[in-house]
Structure 1
């Protein structure tokens, strides 16, 4: 079935439509906000950004809110998840306004604190979406829903980033232009809060009267709750191996993102608006790859085991890096961005479904918070590794070759796993 056919199918559910609309409104605004942030922090025309500076900015903006994720998981297993979406959206709107007001002071501590708070609150929002999805679609349609909803949200985010970049081009490189982009994002977050009100107060769970006593007491011991989520995943090979793979992929994706940013800021262009525009084009093509990966994944997993599909994509990523990234040509690099976008989303949709199918609802919020920590911390790890591996120009042939080898090794591991222990038939369900 096609992506749009899958989307039409799941949109038949009114409860799904409400959750889907909340996601799209918020993630479009995320893209606008991130474009304003990237243009102001990374593409400063007065300096050429180094790998260390970019990695430090990623660490400041990503690692603190990764610490929030364990608390988010326990609390969204305790709080009405509709309220999580509503209050998160309102908080992001207020913080985005603060960010817009602070740009006149430069990218100093206060501005970065406001930015990381926006991203920290987003952990609650995204975890709430993932934990609430099984409440609005039947189990047999989870693969379909996981293909179209996060992917549509990612597409909305890329569209928002493009919109933000266009607004930035109109406003120029100065603080006034960046502030305008961030204020538009604040309006979008407020709109997402209004859409979330179409959902019922308890419509997304959790229904604590049906859950084990551990859920009721986990909020008293966040660390213990987080550990229980890890143990829950560790006892289940399919989601355990899937999360290990997404972690490895995110390390490599962090490296590739930093390389791409440096190339467009320091090599392909002279930075500033031109650098942001070139980087936005590459990211736009990556977004198109995300969408195509979501289209292909339900079709592929109807015809092969999820592990086989993951193995094929990782092997393809290895080949693409060698052919399109290694020459470091401005005309070829966007092709690599498109292909890695395809692989990134194809793998993630499969991993999301494996995790949702093989963890209990009592632990789902905490497990997806573990997922969030892994997803972001490994990205930052990749960026940190780049500080000692990648030159300021972004041109690092040995780095790209090592990335290709790592993708190939992970793909081979999944091929061996499938040969030794074929996926249960239940895991091969597809819309």
Structure 2
């Protein structure tokens, strides 16, 4: 399962370089706040729309089979994307292909998250949620680096060309590797239902007619929402993660605009793409540090306390040195935000795993994905209203810092107040 995550997310990173080059750094396109926000909203909306369907189906379909067939479909769609760009057909069919690939990605990530408790012991969940998702995020950033280097070596600053040929074909190969690796997992090992091993037969999976899928999606989401509402630790954690994602989204869009239009001449798209790749790489290093520190820190303090401290640190660095608006200052911000947001995600994943029942995990983690990505869509809308084309705004940094600080205080106070009520 770990290999499936690494191969697939490395492929995601490679593919994202092609898409970022084409959408944000093509010389023919002038990228402003509204255009960047609109692109993110369009790309992330399928994540929110597909999420509920993924959860209901993941609680009924064998999750190993989901990992196999979704990766095969992503490989096929990436080949279709190469053909469309090569043929010059980069209109609606091209973007429909991209949206389909992103939608399938929801099944992969939700399935991987829901399957973790099936393969690790409860007392190892913090470590598992540190290593697996963080390693996947680092693999994706490594894929971004590999894709960027390939783009530079093969195409120079001709950003449009990076959406075709070797770059996307490399992503195709990685999706195929992920599909093949999934075959090494027992068909029923990842659930749902039954035992954790292969001897569970059908694993208690309900085989549902396709005609009932839509109604069961609605019913399943309602059940998942009630399940979360009845488990306050999970509810608090998901709310805090959605807030964190919102303010991280504002920061990321600002970083794209700063790299594209402020730190360099907007005509020098090569330099802009290089700066953005560097910032993403530093953020990835922060992810790795979070994976190393979080298991150690949560043995010394409550998980929720550690999450609050990370968000407080994020609030500080957004203002100092963030308000200097230099590349070194943004590099510091990228590293600390990588540490804070990934450390927060590790904590939230663990709290949700500990708080929800196995038969609901697919629906809960798909709801988690919806909140996670809908928050980013909302951040895109806010960025369109608040950010100038250069991305340089003191107001937006104050908003981001205040948001991180409020989330830290709210989560810490809420969780500890509930703990005190339970003890009284």
Q: Shared fold (TM-score greater than 0.5)?
A: yes
Structure 1 counterpart of 2:238, from 240, 243, 253 = 243
Deviation, structure 1 residue 373: 0.6
Deviation, structure 1 residue 418: 4.4
Moved over 4 A (4+): 208-220
The residue aligned with 1:13 is none
1:209-259: CA deviation from partner (whole Å, max 9, x where unpaired) = 999999777855210101110110111111100000011111111111110
For residue 382 of structure 1, give the secondary structure of its aligned residue in structure 2. Answer: helix
Between the two proteins, the alignment pairs up a number of residues equal to: 407
For residue 419 of structure 2, give the secondary structure of its aligned residue in structure 1. Answer: coil
> TM-score, normalised to structure 2's length?
0.92
Deviation, structure 1 residue 305: 0.9
For residue 184 of structure 2, give the secondary structure of its aligned residue in structure 1. Answer: coil
> Within 5 A, what are the aligned runs for 1:253-292?
253-269=248-264, 270=266, 271-292=268-289
Q: Distance in 2 between matches of 1:69 and 1:413?
A: 27
The residue aligned with 2:139 is 156
Say if 1:410 and 1:25 are closer, same or farther in 2 by CA, change over 3 A: same
Kept in 1, the 8 Å contact 2:240–2:411? The answer is no
Is 1:37–2:37 an aligned residue pair?
no
Q: Distance in 2 between matches of 1:230 and 1:40?
A: 38
The residue aligned with 1:98 is 80
Kept in 2, the 8 Å contact 1:92–1:189? The answer is yes
The residue aligned with 1:179 is 164
Deviation, structure 1 residue 414: 2.5
The residue aligned with 1:227 is 222
Q: Distance in 2 between matches of 1:235 and 1:91?
A: 37
> TM-score, normalised to structure 1's length?
0.90
Deviation, structure 1 residue 165: 0.7
Q: Distance in 2 between matches of 1:314 and 1:281?
A: 23
> Within 5 A, what are the aligned runs for 1:197-346?
197-207=183-193, 219=213, 220-269=215-264, 270=266, 271-346=268-343
Say if 1:58 and 1:196 are closer, same or farther in 2 by CA, change over 3 A: same
Structure 1 counterpart of 2:54, from 72, 96, 105 = 72
> Within 5 A, what are the aligned runs for 1:366-385?
366-385=363-382
Structure 1 counterpart of 2:122, from 139, 142, 151 = 139
Q: Distance in 1 between matches of 2:106 and 2:321?
A: 34
Structure 2 counterpart of 1:83, from 59, 65, 68 = 65
1:180-210: CA deviation from partner (whole Å, max 9, x where unpaired) = 2112101110111111111111111112699
Unaligned runs of 5+ in 1: 1-18, 426-431
Kept in 2, the 8 Å contact 1:65–1:117? The answer is no
Deviation, structure 1 residue 46: 2.8
Q: Distance in 1 between matches of 2:25 and 2:224?
A: 39
Say if 1:162 and 1:424 are closer, same or farther in 2 by CA, change over 3 A: farther
Q: Distance in 1 between matches of 2:416 and 2:351?
A: 18
Unaligned runs of 5+ in 2: none
The residue aligned with 1:113 is 96
Is 1:347–2:344 an aligned residue pair?
yes
The residue aligned with 1:4 is none
1:307-350: CA deviation from partner (whole Å, max 9, x where unpaired) = 11111111111101010211111221111011100001000000
Q: Distance in 1 between matches of 2:76 and 2:303?
A: 41
For residue 320 of structure 2, give the secondary structure of its aligned residue in structure 1. Answer: helix
Is 1:195–2:181 an aligned residue pair?
yes
Kept in 1, the 8 Å contact 2:56–2:217? The answer is yes
Kept in 1, the 8 Å contact 2:236–2:414? The answer is no
Say if 1:212 and 1:156 are closer, same or farther in 2 by CA, change over 3 A: closer
For residue 221 of structure 1, give the secondary structure of its aligned residue in structure 2. Answer: helix
Q: Distance in 2 between matches of 1:214 and 1:183?
A: 36
Alignment RMSD: 2.1
Answer with 390-399 or 217-226: which moved more: 217-226
Answer with 104-113 or 186-195: which moved more: 104-113
The residue aligned with 1:62 is 44
Q: Distance in 2 between matches of 1:127 and 1:411?
A: 26
